Structure 1
Amino acid sequence: MARFSRIDNSALGRWWRSVDHVTLACVGILIGFGYILMLAASPAVAVRIGASRNMFIFKQVFFLTLAGCLTIAVSMLSRKGVIRLGFIGGVIAIAATAMTLVHGIEIKGARRWIALPMMSVQPSEFLKPCFAVMTAWLLAKRHEVRHFPGMLLALACYAVILILLKSQPDIGMLTVVSTVFLAQLFVDGLNLILVAGGVGIMIAAGIAAFFLFPHVHSRVERFLHPDVGDHYQIDTALRAFGNGGLLGRGPGEGRVKDLLPDAHADFVFAVAGEEYGLLICLFIIAVFATIVIRALLKLLRDDDPFLIMATAGLVTGFGLQAFVNMASTLHLIPTKGMTLPFISYGGSSALSISLAIGMVLALTRQRVGQSRLGRSLTETTRGTWKTAT
């Protein structure tokens, strides 16, 4: 793509000159690690369940290739295109998530998946990016149109998602969505007292979940009390990091993939630590941090409320998901079945993350006359929003 010149006025040429190359390269690096670690971790898992040795590899190659293409395709969208995609995708994701309560596959007491030929889909994964775009538009619109009930509609949308995710139940996903919404309200200028109140409500909800949901109670108890319950998975993961040391045992030399049933998914970071060592793990963390920080820094040069809130929500969800996976693998927080973006096995996760990053790239592209984006709002409206924030 480097051959595109400054006078190339094709759609692809304009996209290449305007897109954030560093973020795009980071996505490519993560997808590359997804291929490498899937080759390392999945054959042993497949053999253990009696499937073809290369079953997970072939599926994930397809998913990651599709994810890369989807990231590029979405990153070419205009601002209006991102909004349209967010609302259409959000409505479909909410309807499909509601369908899981009736026709979903029940696994370990939770109904989160819909069975399709050759695969199952977790619709709630797609709620994260679409919800961030929907609420950002609703919150920004109330600064454009007087008396527009943007806050009320955003709260109603969140309430519907809360009820659906609580009913599945999927407390981890609900926590991510809640954090995204709270971050957007903070960026929108919500009073700090109300932000503190929101944090307090989330803490109270977490305490309530501890008493109401047995699987949440079990995970927190095992985290707080090492002598309570089964610690096999987390102990095995921690030993894997210790065995890997600074430089790792070498490609294919790790043992954790032969011991953990979710080595290709929730505990893929432990596979990276054992086979490639601390330095590669730090590099992976740095790649995730680069994507988040670059997106946030770009917002400092913009004055479009929608763009700022949507991007902040998208990267909050992306960064939080990566943190939860790696922190739970390192036993820094209670274990949570959440994938590592672009690296863990899972089609729904890979596609939803690619949708989110594609939206971030689309919203942060350098466009001709980009400074006029903020002028879509009137000077009065822009001043009002800046005063509020």
Structure 2
Amino acid sequence: MTVSVGSTVIVPRSERSIITEWRLSVDWRIMAASFTLLGLGLMLSLAAGPPAAERLGYSDPYHFVKRHCIFAAGASVVLIAASMMTRVWVRRVSALIFAGSLVLLAAIMLIGHEAKGAERWVNIAGFTLQPSEFVKPVLIVLIGWLLAQRRLFPDGPWAVVALVFYVVVLGLLLLQPDVGQSALITAAFIATFFVSGLPWRWAAAFFAGGVTLSGALYALLPHVRYRVNSFINPSDYDTYQIDKASEAISRGGLLGAGPGEGTVKSSLPDAHTDFIYAVLGEEFGYVAALLVIGLYGYICWRGLRAASRLHDPYPRAAASGLFTLFALQAAINIAVNVSLIPPKGMTLPFISYGGSSMLGIALTLGLALALIRRQSLGTRGRHG
């Protein structure tokens, strides 16, 4: 017999196991919504994978579909395993992954794999890994923990250390260069800082620094300047991808052309990755596209609501940052697909093809679920 008191689950000693405590304390509605998105990704890979394989010259038309299934299975394991951790282990594992990711981000400068004009990947045992996908969530967890220490040890330089961590990661990302991930991690960092109590002078400094950095990136990086200019003046630039994505969504109409009946995906570059939402819109229509937005919104809303009810500042700030990270990545991808912002090269969480992306998103949501879990009396601790 178990008893729930507020946000605490009291489990009898005879039933106190990791799986039992996890089963009774995890947010099953967020878990169900996450697996629904994974299922939609598998279904859409059947639609977008074969045309992509043919376009890229693979002999097996189901090359991307098979790999997507493997990635989805791995993401399921990571999501469940991460959500089982206690808050203490969330911090410890995040520290280990953060250290490893920093090493890999630095190694990219020497042994990086270049694609589309950027070096963002490393080849490990035949697999291509993108370290930035893993450094994002663990950085947010560590920042949330560091900022929480200000209440215990107010004289410590916790905010400065958190800022140094962020600046180091940001610098390594911009050296690749990866402006999209840099913007995403900056937004999540500010959200985490805000929940922890952001002083006005820091807020002003972040705003001024963001404006200055944006101007510098526009001036120094040709591909950033090209994307911004092509978004502002599309008639003067080649906007083939965006035009094709808009065509696909428009063709779908209210209920879509039907499963497998999409035609634009055959000529749309990255239809199985960055522009999978356009494939969804063409084959299943506006209704399905809005339902997917609703799933992302529901996960974010329910997660942030649970985080706001936590009394411990560490999980409250870290979980808020992680759910913000998850939601913003989905929002950015969808906004690109419907021509609201310039292209960013960012995947749609749990739906787009991509091993590093899918595992990184699973880690993000798994850590967030672990932090908002109702803690049993045997696992509670002050600030993790």
TM bin, normalised by shorter chain, reads: over 0.9
How many residue pairs were aligned? 370
1:88-237 aligned at under 5 Å gives the runs: 88-237=96-245
Q: Measure, in 2, the Cα distance between the counterparts of 1:92 and 1:256.
A: 40
Higher deviation after alignment, 145-154 or 61-70: 145-154
Within the alignment, does 1:246 sit opposite 2:262 as a pair?
Answer: no
Instruction: Say whether the 8 Å CA contact 2:310–2:372 is kept in structure 1.
Output: no
Tell me the SS of whatever aligns to 1:147: coil
Instruction: Say whether the 8 Å CA contact 1:42–1:257 is kept in structure 2.
Output: no
Query: C-alpha displacement at 1:323, in angstroms?
Result: 0.7
Equivalence for 1:25: 32
Letter in 2 for 1:167: L
Equivalence for 1:382: none
Q: Deviations over 1:128-159 (max 9, x none)?
A: 10100111111111221242221111111112
Query: C-alpha displacement at 1:193, in angstroms?
Result: 4.7
Q: Measure, in 1, the Cα distance between the counterparts of 2:200 and 2:153.
A: 24
Query: C-alpha displacement at 1:231, in angstroms?
Result: 1.0
Tell me the SS of whatever aligns to 1:251: coil
Equivalence for 2:336: 328
Query: C-alpha displacement at 1:189, in angstroms?
Result: 1.2
Q: Where in structure 2 are there 5+ consecutive unaligned residues?
A: 1-10
Equivalence for 2:361: 353
Letter in 2 for 1:46: A
Q: Deviations over 1:280-299 (max 9, x none)?
A: 11110010111111111112
Q: Measure, in 1, the Cα distance between the counterparts of 2:264 and 2:243.
A: 11
Q: Measure, in 1, the Cα distance between the counterparts of 2:260 and 2:70.
A: 22
Q: Deviations over 1:189-231 (max 9, x none)?
A: 1123531431232132112211110010000011000212111
Q: Measure, in 1, the Cα distance between the counterparts of 2:305 and 2:323.
A: 12
Q: Measure, in 2, the Cα distance between the counterparts of 1:34 and 1:18.
A: 27
Q: Measure, in 1, the Cα distance between the counterparts of 2:199 and 2:329.
A: 26
Which segments of structure 1 move beyond 6 Å, counting only runs of 4 or more? none
Q: Measure, in 1, the Cα distance between the counterparts of 2:250 and 2:111.
A: 43
Higher deviation after alignment, 213-222 or 199-208: 199-208
Q: Measure, in 2, the Cα distance between the counterparts of 1:228 and 1:85.
A: 49
Higher deviation after alignment, 180-189 or 77-86: 180-189
Q: Measure, in 1, the Cα distance between the counterparts of 2:277 and 2:128.
A: 23
Q: Measure, in 1, the Cα distance between the counterparts of 2:175 and 2:382.
A: 40
Query: C-alpha displacement at 1:369, in angstroms?
Result: 4.5
Instruction: Say whether the 8 Å CA contact 2:21–2:376 is kept in structure 1.
Output: no
Query: C-alpha displacement at 1:335, in angstroms?
Result: 0.8
Within the alignment, does 1:46 sit opposite 2:86 as a pair?
Answer: no
Q: Measure, in 2, the Cα distance between the counterparts of 1:109 and 1:240.
A: 27
Q: Deviations over 1:315-334 (max 9, x none)?
A: 11111111110001110001
Instruction: Say whether the 8 Å CA contact 1:240–1:270 is kept in structure 2.
Output: yes
Q: Where in structure 1 are there 5+ consecutive unaligned residues?
A: 1-5, 378-389
Query: C-alpha displacement at 1:91, in angstroms?
Result: 0.7
Tell me the SS of whatever aligns to 1:106: strand
Query: C-alpha displacement at 1:69, in angstroms?
Result: 1.0
Q: Measure, in 1, the Cα distance between the counterparts of 2:280 and 2:350.
A: 14
Q: Measure, in 2, the Cα distance between the counterparts of 1:105 and 1:330.
A: 30
Q: Deviations over 1:152-209 (max 9, x none)?
A: 1111111211221111111111111111111112111112353143123213211221
Q: Measure, in 2, the Cα distance between the counterparts of 1:132 and 1:184.
A: 7
Q: Deviations over 1:295-324 (max 9, x none)?
A: 111123211110111001111111111111
Q: Deviations over 1:48-105 (max 9, x none)?
A: 1111211111111000111011100110001111000111011111110110111001
C-alpha RMSD of matched pairs (Å): 1.6
Q: Measure, in 1, the Cα distance between the counterparts of 2:36 and 2:104.
A: 32
Equivalence for 1:35: 42
Tell me the SS of whatever aligns to 2:134: helix
Aligned-residue identity in percent = 41
Q: Measure, in 1, the Cα distance between the counterparts of 2:205 and 2:257.
A: 48
1:255-294 aligned at under 5 Å gives the runs: 255-294=263-302
Q: Measure, in 1, the Cα distance between the counterparts of 2:117 and 2:342.
A: 19
Tell me the SS of whatever aligns to 2:351: coil
